[in-house]
């Protein structure tokens, strides 16, 4: 007999699958890693298949995917973006200083 609770339930199930000849009874108490089967109501509220397909495809990408794509040039691209943003911040500070000077 094997009993597993939470993460132990996951490990107990993995052990039982690997060595089924050693397990006569398996008890899982609130096992981690095994989702509940959704009810019919939850299934009807799920997003349409086309939305799930697009979301699944977009999960592979992240904001830095472009830098990974350009390879060794990514370091220079990031430096360029940093310089441009720094200059934009500097321009914003100068404009705000000018407005504050005019208002005073």
- Indicate the domain borders of the chain: 1-36, 67-104
Length of the chain equals 104
- Is the pTM higher than 0.85? no
Per-residue pLDDT of the chain (104 residues; tens, 9 = 90+): 899 888 888 889 889 989 999 999 999 888 777 667 777 677 667 778 887 788 777 777 666 676 667 777 766 766 776 777 777 777 777 677 676 666 65
CB-side exposure of 73: number of CA atoms within 13 Å? Answer: 4
32-67 exposure pattern, b = at least 16 Cβ within 10 A, e = fewer: eeeeeeeeeeeeeeeeeeeeeeeeeeeeeeeeeeee
Cβ-contact 10, 3 below 8 angstroms: no
């Amino acid at each position: 007999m094997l009993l597993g609770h939470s993460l132990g339930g996951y490990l107990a199930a993995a052990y039982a699958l690997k060595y089924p000849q050693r397990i006569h009874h398996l008890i899982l108490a609130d096992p981690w890693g095994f989702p509940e089967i959704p009810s019919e109501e939850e299934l009807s509220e799920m997003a349409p298949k086309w939305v799930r397909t697009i979301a699944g495809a977009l999960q592979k990408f992240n904001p830095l995917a472009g830098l990974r794509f350009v390879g060794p040039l990514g370091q220079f691209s990031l430096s360029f973006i940093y310089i441009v943003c720094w200059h934009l911040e500097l321009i914003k500070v100068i404009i705000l200083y000018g407005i504050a000077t005019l208002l005073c």
